[in-house]
Structure 1
């Protein structure tokens, strides 16, 4: 408990854990920051065509707006998670929100496609702090209150992400219609400011015991490990953006860098990525792989299908955003339902079946497909999104070491955006310069095959069948 003297010294910006508990204020404050990454992921899907037209570039170039954020996120999530574990999650949470605000203003003022890519990278780094820091704050709040984490708290984080992805497409369509694509960047400013105010008012201050010095933070990050991880991810992304036989050497360089990374991390006293822990913790490693494939299919649908709707089916950005909203409207209540119990296997199986059904349905689409079918396939993918995200999050939370929850949560998001990066490569190969019916069918066939393999792997995962809970 908090001492009386310390309680007296507490002010408006220093609430005690006992005052906050796991109530609505705590849940709202940790969830607000977590909405920024999903909303930036979904809102840009509606703006890609408009941005491409504004700067006279094709889908292979605008794809950098997607992959730039995902690369920053894939690197930033475990980095921010480790900093949250070492320096304090509330502190890192606030820094991330400030970076999101800066990136939003930079994108609004951007006058070139590459400046927009820089803005998306800044936003990606900033949003990387929210989720791992939020998970760390939830775990530490549970320890301070000496009570298990309510399932509704974890569910709220998943629901916040789903709700923000639901808001992203129609909000993007509305902002483009009213003020143009720059407003899809500026919207980050008020959202980040609200998040900062709520975090200061409603999140308990980090308890003593964290390393606050810059030297301690730099040492905890394992600079050589971070550099190797960044180089490997960047090289892999450059290859995946435009894969070609002539550029296979880039893939080879990425593999070599990953091998060197593993070699270094096995010898580091404080590794950037705890390879030994991942090797010992097979269920957690499988969860990361399963999540990466799930999001490969999900983002392949979100970005590939929306581009097809506008370029091949002739739909406006507003209509496309409205149709895609069905995905997230379905996902939100299913996330709430899936978070009520401790079940993991059942939501994952049902969600993966939905991936298979939705991907196969895309094979039947062409420019004459009725609008109700667009809404229907979006809703089917919503079933997958709602159940798979909450199921994998619950699995990770139960499998990760308590003192590394921030880093583990960051690696879950890294797995997510590795899948997303692969999806942009797949879309680029399928479409080339412009989305067509044939390109959509190629994309759908690959997504269906990946979903089917994922379903088989999930059903026969002995860890999930044995535990059933997380």
Structure 2
């Protein structure tokens, strides 16, 4: 990257203006928040939905797993379509699909239509991230320099921040407009992203074979090959980076999956327990979950500044175990202060694992396959989310009571201890990673 910057005379990587400025990033960031926001926003509306349709946690769990199944399948499909049809077209089509899904969910008279709306939301929101990565890559080829690291970081922070704030927003919407507002809010959000995308996102270039300067033509192919060679040379010459390793990547995926299995189980299970066993309203539950959101956002910023991976990831695993310990003793009479501490104990690891595992993937993957490696990391996260919904149904049954929460916390505690052992003994995490690239 450094060689590329010197050769082309481009601005330093830290310069986020120009080609990678607000006109490009604003619609991409607006689109990037939709999938993680919808994955967590419904957490504080599940009880109300269950009451209206006469189903318990085992039934409402389908609203969670349907979106994750659609997202897990939709991400690679949308990425392939963005490569073949053009990222702008796929990005806009995804936003239109989100609008349709929001309307379907807001007006749904039956529970089956709600599930259908969640599937459409999963597919529509899956277009944003791969399309954004394809657009950044296209701008990199056009300008002759890589996408600035702060730009990439903003995409990650937008996803994490919106996921963390989802339960609070969902509780507010459920308390003020009813649970249907959780679906309806997608319409103005998608329209806002469309309003920014139509005039600001660059038009898709010509398809392969349309000319020497067409998209993926000979000129662009030679430029991309040059970029890849320079990335490889830089990684080989930078002693601070982790060595590319398939085994290390597999351990990172496993670590990421175990971490988010515990985090999602706590997110959904804890919020339902607060309403059904502790007697809080949806809005009050959102406020109790707020420390989780704030801690995740703050720790994601702090985690991005660390030079090593082993210490923050080990700390995160230990805090997950501590949070599980608090929940395994919680009852309907547990003081509010302890409930807030429990939420924070799951939020801190969420921020640390998000940035730490992302850094590990970027350091351990081959430079010419970072995109697919990052996609597999997200697949591991979606798989864990789906597993968490099954775990909730198994532990809670028809009602989120104290006994169910204790069973759930016991499982997440054991997973956290396993995660702690895997992280502490992973030799690939001992080498520091650079935070300036």
Q: TM-score, normalised by structure 2?
A: 0.82
> How far does residue 293 in structure 1 lie from its aligned partner after superposition?
1.2
Distance 1:27 1:464, change over 3 A: farther
Partner of 2:387: 422
> How far does residue 429 in structure 1 lie from its aligned partner after superposition?
1.0
Q: Secondary structure at the match of 2:133?
A: helix
**Residues 249 and 364 in structure 2, CA contact (< 8 A), matched pair in contact too:** yes
Cα distance in 2 for partners of 1:211, 1:100 equals 33
Query: Which of 274, 283, 295 is equivalent to 1:330?
Result: 295
Q: Which aligned pairs between 1:431-442 and structure 2 lie closer than 5 A?
A: 431-442=396-407
Q: Secondary structure at the match of 1:164?
A: helix
Residue 56 of structure 2 is aligned to residue 91 of structure 1 = no
> How far does residue 87 in structure 1 lie from its aligned partner after superposition?
3.5
- Shifted more, 455-464 versus 301-310: the winner is 455-464
Query: Which of 119, 122, 132 is equivalent to 1:121?
Result: 119
- Shifted more, 129-138 versus 185-194: the winner is 129-138
> How far does residue 28 in structure 1 lie from its aligned partner after superposition?
2.8
Residue 141 of structure 2 is aligned to residue 162 of structure 1 = no
Cα distance in 1 for partners of 2:358, 2:89 equals 23
Residue 198 of structure 2 is aligned to residue 173 of structure 1 = no
> How far does residue 450 in structure 1 lie from its aligned partner after superposition?
0.6
Distance 1:298 1:90, change over 3 A: same
Cα distance in 1 for partners of 2:373, 2:194 equals 24
> How far does residue 176 in structure 1 lie from its aligned partner after superposition?
1.7
Cα distance in 1 for partners of 2:258, 2:169 equals 28
- Root-mean-square deviation over aligned CA pairs: 2.5
Structure 1 residues not aligned, in runs of 5+: 1-17, 213-278
Query: Which of 59, 62, 65 is equivalent to 1:61?
Result: 59
Deviations 1:12-71 (A, max 9, x none): xxxxxx984233343333221111111111111111111111111111111100011111
Cα distance in 2 for partners of 1:281, 1:139 equals 24
Distance 1:145 1:364, change over 3 A: farther
**Residues 162 and 328 in structure 1, CA contact (< 8 A), matched pair in contact too:** no
> How far does residue 208 in structure 1 lie from its aligned partner after superposition?
4.1
> How far does residue 281 in structure 1 lie from its aligned partner after superposition?
2.9
Query: Which of 167, 183, 186 is equivalent to 2:184?
Result: 186
Partner of 1:385: 350
Cα distance in 1 for partners of 2:201, 2:314 equals 36
- Shifted more, 318-327 versus 343-352: the winner is 343-352
- Shifted more, 326-335 versus 388-397: the winner is 388-397
> How far does residue 399 in structure 1 lie from its aligned partner after superposition?
4.1
Distance 1:346 1:133, change over 3 A: farther
Cα distance in 2 for partners of 1:166, 1:369 equals 24
Partner of 1:395: 360
Residue 280 of structure 2 is aligned to residue 315 of structure 1 = yes
Deviations 1:432-458 (A, max 9, x none): 111111111111111011111112212
Deviations 1:222-265 (A, max 9, x none): xxxxxxxxxxxxxxxxxxxxxxxxxxxxxxxxxxxxxxxxxxxx
Deviations 1:300-348 (A, max 9, x none): 0001111111111111111101111211112112212322456443432
Deviations 1:367-414 (A, max 9, x none): 111111111111121111111112222333444455555544333222
Query: Which of 47, 50, 68 is equivalent to 1:52?
Result: 50
Q: Which aligned pairs between 1:38-437 and structure 2 lie closer than 5 A?
A: 38-209=36-207, 281-340=246-305, 343-401=308-366, 404-437=369-402
Structure 2 residues not aligned, in runs of 5+: 1-15, 211-243
> How far does residue 280 in structure 1 lie from its aligned partner after superposition?
7.3
- Shifted more, 317-326 versus 130-139: the winner is 130-139
Cα distance in 1 for partners of 2:82, 2:360 equals 21
Q: Secondary structure at the match of 1:171?
A: helix
Deviations 1:125-164 (A, max 9, x none): 1111222332333344344434344332232122212321
Q: Which aligned pairs between 1:454-465 and structure 2 lie closer than 5 A?
A: 454-465=419-430
**Residues 73 and 125 in structure 1, CA contact (< 8 A), matched pair in contact too:** yes
**Residues 365 and 437 in structure 1, CA contact (< 8 A), matched pair in contact too:** yes
Cα distance in 2 for partners of 1:439, 1:178 equals 29
Partner of 1:446: 411
Count of residue pairs brought into register by the alignment: 388
Q: Secondary structure at the match of 1:434?
A: coil
Cα distance in 1 for partners of 2:209, 2:394 equals 46
Q: TM-score, normalised by structure 1?
A: 0.76
Distance 1:418 1:430, change over 3 A: same
